[in-house]
């Protein structure tokens, strides 16, 4: 009989204090947050934490045995470096449990100034193989790496076997098909990218128009998609638009679907994934509550009876309802070995 002694940590998004409480109350092992400025990759208007909210959030989470991690995962530039340096100081002062970073200079700064602060390598650090992870481990002693959503299960297993660093993978939410940290499509069209401004396809560049050919979405005036009258319209993220090489428009880069690893939780646990991350700091507290609760239930059900684990239809239906494009995929994880 197989027993599961250690479940992966369930790491949930918190774009606000209510979202943080929703994650904690529904069984997150850790939440991740960002300050309200360009220092994190979800730098959206009205989102994220001011200092006093961080204090309250950390207290709320710690009283309930939940960790709080800070996303500091954009790339500082020479003249605004001080924002990131201040954020590190605050992270240290406010008792955050880990800082999630990508910039080499900043990682080095953290090691030399705040040696007790546990460091996680952000998905924006583009580490897709064991040598890259070994580099970050050797130079900065990173405790955990969050892998880009580009590896298959077999590749993931191989990487986990070859590194002493904990491996965190994305389990649910928007699916980025590019190697994160190396995608500048957004700045090509709008001038702002995840690396430079903490945003992808920013809301201020979005416009909608009704035309005789249907409703259209644009990003900085570039036509991203055109919808038929009965078609549900989605947010015009660049890589999820319909474009054409010939006469027919199609999802040339990626369909607007969500990642969902619920069906392969046993495999992820078996190969030694240390943490499963839920995407969506930009989403509502209700989204956070729903997804956290279902993943908590699923992980606990698996631990209780690993042989009989099977995602319940009700979980999938609920997750489907909050999914982008109302459908889901295993992403690169389902690919056969090369």
List the one residue from 55, 83, 94, 179 that touches another protein (CB under 8 A). 179
- The answer to whether residue 128 forms part of the interface with another protein (CB under 8 A) is yes
Report how far residue 205's alpha carbon sits from residue 297's, in angstroms, rounded to the nearest whole number: 39
As given in the structure block, the two tokens for residue 330 are 């295993």
**334 contributes a contact to another protein by CB under 8 A:** no
Contacts of 308 (CB under 8 A, 6+ apart): none
Tokens of 46: 């009205």
User: How many residues belong to the site for another protein (CB under 8 A)?
Assistant: 65
Is residue 327 close enough to count as binding another protein by CB under 8 A? no
- Closer to another protein at the Cβ: 13 or 241? 241
Residue 249 contacts another protein per CB under 8 A: yes
Q: Looking at 37, 90, 92, 130, which residue binds another protein (CB under 8 A)?
A: 130
C-alpha distances (whole Å) from 197 to each of 103, 134, 139, 149, 187 are: 14, 28, 26, 21, 9
> Does the footprint of another protein cover residue 136 (CB under 8 A)?
yes
274 binds another protein (CB under 8 A): no
User: According to the binding rule CB under 8 A, does residue 258 interact with another protein?
Assistant: no
Q: Does 73 bind another protein (CB under 8 A)?
A: no
d(C-alpha 61, C-alpha 95), whole Å: 11
- Contact with another protein (CB under 8 A): which of 59, 64, 113, 182? 182
Selected from 12, 102, 276, 288, the binder of another protein by CB under 8 A is 102
Neighbours of 246 (CB within 10 A): 6
Q: Which of 94, 132, 301, 316 binds another protein (CB under 8 A)?
A: 132
Q: Sheet of 206-211: strands edge to edge?
A: 206-211, 214-219, 222-227
Q: Are 7 and 299 in contact (CB under 8 A)?
A: yes
Look at the alpha carbons of 145, 150, 152, 154 in this order and tell me if their dihedral is positive or negative: negative
Residue 83 makes contact with another protein by CB under 8 A: no
Say how many CA atoms lie within 13 Å of 88 toward its Cβ.
26
In whole angstroms, the minimum distance from the beta carbon of 195 to another protein comes to 7
Asked if residue 161 binds another protein (CB under 8 A), the reply is: no
- Going by their DSSP bridges, the two strands 119-121 and 98-101 should be labelled as parallel
Binding mask 206-225 for another protein (x = CB under 8 A): --------------x-xxxx
Q: Per-residue contact track with another protein, 138 to 157, x per CB under 8 A?
A: x-----------xxx--x--
State how far the Cα of 161 lies from the Cα of 158, in Å rounded to an integer: 5
CA distance 34 to 104: 19
Quote the tokens at residue 68. 């709080």
Residues within the interface to another protein (CB under 8 A): 75-79, 81, 102-106, 108-109, 126-132, 134-136, 138, 150-152, 155, 158, 177-179, 181-185, 187-191, 193, 195-196, 220, 222-226, 239, 241-245, 249, 252-254, 332, 335-336, 338
């Amino acid at each position: 009989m197989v027993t599961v002694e250690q479940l992966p940590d369930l790491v949930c998004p918190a774009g606000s204090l209510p979202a943080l409480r929703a994650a904690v109350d529904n069984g997150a092992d850790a939440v991740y947050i960002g300050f309200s400025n360009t220092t994190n990759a979800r730098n959206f208007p009205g989102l994220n934490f001011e200092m006093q909210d961080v204090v309250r959030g950390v207290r709320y989470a710690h009283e309930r045995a939940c960790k709080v991690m800070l996303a500091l995962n954009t790339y500082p530039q020479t003249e605004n470096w001080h924002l990131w340096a201040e954020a590190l100081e605050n992270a240290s002062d406010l008792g955050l449990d880990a800082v999630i970073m990508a910039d080499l200079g900043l990682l080095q700064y953290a090691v030399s100034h705040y040696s007790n602060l546990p460091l996680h390598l952000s998905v924006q650090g583009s580490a897709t193989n064991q040598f890259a992870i070994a580099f970050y481990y050797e130079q900065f002693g990173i405790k955990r790496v969050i892998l880009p959503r580009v590896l298959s299960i077999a590749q993931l297993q191989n990487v986990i076997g070859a590194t002493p660093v904990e491996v965190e993978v994305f389990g649910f939410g928007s699916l980025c098909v590019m190697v994160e940290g190396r995608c500048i499509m957004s700045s090509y069209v709008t001038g702002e990218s995840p690396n430079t401004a903490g945003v992808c396809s920013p809301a201020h560049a979005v416009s909608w128009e009704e035309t005789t050919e249907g409703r259209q979405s644009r990003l900085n005036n570039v036509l991203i998609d055109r919808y038929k009258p009965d078609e549900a319209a989605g947010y015009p993220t660049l890589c999820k638009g319909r474009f054409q090489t010939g006469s027919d428009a199609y999802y040339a880069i990626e369909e607007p679907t969500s990642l969902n690893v619920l069906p392969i939780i046993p495999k992820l646990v078996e190969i030694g994934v240390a943490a499963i991350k839920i995407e969506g700091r930009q989403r509502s507290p209700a989204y956070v509550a729903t997804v956290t609760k279902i993943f908590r239930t699923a992980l606990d059900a698996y631990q209780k009876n690993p042989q009989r684990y099977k995602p319940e239809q009700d979980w999938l239906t609920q997750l489907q309802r909050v999914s982008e494009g109302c459908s889901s995929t295993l992403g690169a994880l389902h690919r056969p070995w090369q």
